[in-house]
Amino acid sequence: MSSSGGSLNAVLSQKTSFLGLRLWVVIGLSVGAFTISILLILSIWVASRKKSRRTLEKSPLSQIPSVSKEIKVDRCGSSHSGDEGSSGNGNLHKPASYEFVTASPLVGLPEFSQLGWGHWFTLRDLEYATYHFSKDNVLGEGGYGVVYKGKLINGTEVAVKKLLNNLGQAEKEFRVEVEAIGHVRHKNLVRLLGYCVEGIHRRMLVYEYVNNGNLEQWLHGAMHQHCSFTWEARMKVILGTAKALAYLHEAIEPKVVHRDIKSSNILIDDEFNAKVSDFGLAKLLGSGKSHITTRVMGTFGYVAPEYANTGLLNEKSDVYSFGVLLLEAVTGRDPVDYGRPANEVNLVEWLKVMVGSRRAEEVVDPKLDTKPTTRALKRALLIALRCVAPDSDKRPKMGQVVRMLDADNYPSRADRRNRRSHTTGSMESLDMESKAEASEGQGSGRFQS
């Protein structure tokens, strides 16, 4: 043992050709140089990370204004060129195809956190994007959570939804559900860009940012003061919403029932294209015809009567809510308004009475500078009345609604009679065709939420 130790010492004590230093000295210097190199590389990496974060933090808070200052109107809903006597939809006569979003706002983000459909964000990423979830960045609050405006490190503006009432959902279950939502792409759906999961109660979704307000703000808020919200613009938003719902109901499996279609959930871009939000938080359904849910969701005034009363949920519940939305766009009235006379509080019931008494032309929003043609108004009201039929089996599918909203593909009975007789019709045909819906609705009483 002592002989082997002595031989090792002899080897290490031998002089080398490197400056005549002994072998153990050379080994020690090599190990020291390697350690110093590793520490130097780590210090450079940490310094670069701190510098990039410091630059982001120094960005002035004024770059993200409050909600009222953020909304900009680049284009008003002006009339498009087209046949004045057709549908009032201008240049909207396009095939009801389900188009996918191709542009990626995630370019430039770290590759290690890229998903197949979006991006996995850390809590720190979103804190920096929203200036630590500043109150000045709040875009809105709803039943699902609080939405903040944010700006990613690559400059992309986003909407960060901080989910509430998550009830400690397992991380794996949450990821599976969000993965399914992330693969749903349509030009009239707000795109889900990614998500954040940290801990039991921190669940956040990151969406594309849509900067031209929502339908509620254009109909009832301050947005219409920027410029007139024309009939053509309203019908473009309505048609886009119908296409989005048709895609969710009929083009994907499992189909998605939104459950909370309302004007504040219909975002609008600069070209007055509808962007339906919150669809990702709806319950995913299988191939069955209906589903019983234990908790009634939705918003008062938009909820289908059978859903509110029994909890029976299927895509026809969304059809009813869409019908209310269409009536809201036509009349400029809230679905339920207790500031009006008792017989006008409920929008659906009031409209049925007005149509039944042949006063349909009086329901048009008085804020419209240019009233729609008789043909366009008739078509919109007929579609809406069919969507809000008390019997869910009598409501059309959203794919049928899309075709009905397209005037070229769906000429009404009155239009065909007018072409044969070469005479100009009035609202009389609407009164006749809607009499059944009006009488049925009056017999059922006001719908509940």
Question: DSSP states of 325-381 as a string?
Answer: HHHHHHH---SB-TTS-GGGSBHHHHHHHHHHTT-GGGGS-TT-SSPPPHHHHHHHH
Q: Residue 351 falls within a domain, yes or no? A: yes
Q: How far apart are CA 403 and CA 397, in angstroms?
A: 10
Long-range CB contacts for residues 179-186, cutoff 8 Å, separation at least 24: 179/115, 179/117, 180/284, 181/279, 181/280, 182/115, 182/117, 182/118, 183/117, 184/248, 184/252, 184/256, 184/279, 184/280, 185/100, 185/101, 186/98, 186/99, 186/100, 186/101, 186/243, 186/244, 186/247
**Least confident piece of the model among 46-55, 117-126, 377-386:** 46-55
Together in a domain, 237 and 335:
yes
Domain end point (choices 169, 185, 209): 209
More confident residue, 129 or 89: 129
Together in a domain, 127 and 252:
no
CATH of the domain at 285: 1.10.510.10
Which tokens hold the place of 322?
């869409």
Annotated binding-site residue? 58:
no
Q: How far apart are CA 193 and CA 123, in angstroms?
A: 15
pLDDT tens across 24-34, in order? 777 888 888 88
Together in a domain, 205 and 216:
no
Q: Residue 22 falls within a domain, yes or no? A: no
Q: Beta strand pairing status for 202-208 and 157-163?
A: antiparallel
Q: How far apart are CA 236 and CA 136, in angstroms?
A: 32
More confident residue, 444 or 38: 38
* Whole-number pLDDT of residue 316: 94
* Whole-number pLDDT of residue 100: 42
Q: How far apart are CA 414 and CA 407, in angstroms?
A: 13
- Cα angle 299, 88, 357; round to 5: 65
More confident residue, 439 or 48: 48
Query: The pTM is what?
Result: 0.68
pLDDT at 428 over 90: no
* Whole-number pLDDT of residue 67: 34
pLDDT at 312 over 90: no
Together in a domain, 117 and 230:
no
pLDDT tens across 198-253, in order? 866 678 899 999 988 999 999 998 776 777 899 999 999 999 999 999 999 999 98
**Mean pLDDT to the nearest integer, 365-393:** 94
Q: What percent of the chain has pLDDT over 70?
A: 66
pLDDT class for 307, splitting at 50, 70, 90?
A: confident
* Whole-number pLDDT of residue 247: 95
**Mean pLDDT to the nearest integer, 255-264:** 90
Q: Residue 338 falls within a domain, yes or no? A: yes
Domain end point (choices 184, 209, 234): 209
Contact 159, 209 (CB under 8 A): yes
* Whole-number pLDDT of residue 31: 86
pLDDT at 433 over 90: no
Q: Residue 230 falls within a domain, yes or no? A: yes
pLDDT class for 52, splitting at 50, 70, 90?
A: low
* Whole-number pLDDT of residue 426: 42
* Domain ranges, residue 282: 212-449
Together in a domain, 277 and 371:
yes
**Least confident piece of the model among 79-88, 354-363, 402-411, 412-421:** 79-88
More confident residue, 385 or 414: 385
* Whole-number pLDDT of residue 135: 93
Together in a domain, 185 and 253:
no
Question: What total number of domains does the chain contain?
Answer: 2
Together in a domain, 142 and 255:
no
pLDDT class for 5, splitting at 50, 70, 90?
A: low
Catalytic residues: 260
pLDDT at 189 over 80: yes
**Arithmetic mean of pLDDT over the chain:** 75
Q: Beta strand pairing status for 138-141 and 157-163?
A: unpaired
pLDDT tens across 123-181, in order? 899 999 999 999 999 998 876 789 999 999 888 999 999 887 655 556 677 777 787 78
* Whole-number pLDDT of residue 362: 94
Domain end point (choices 141, 176, 209): 209
* Whole-number pLDDT of residue 2: 58
Together in a domain, 193 and 232:
no
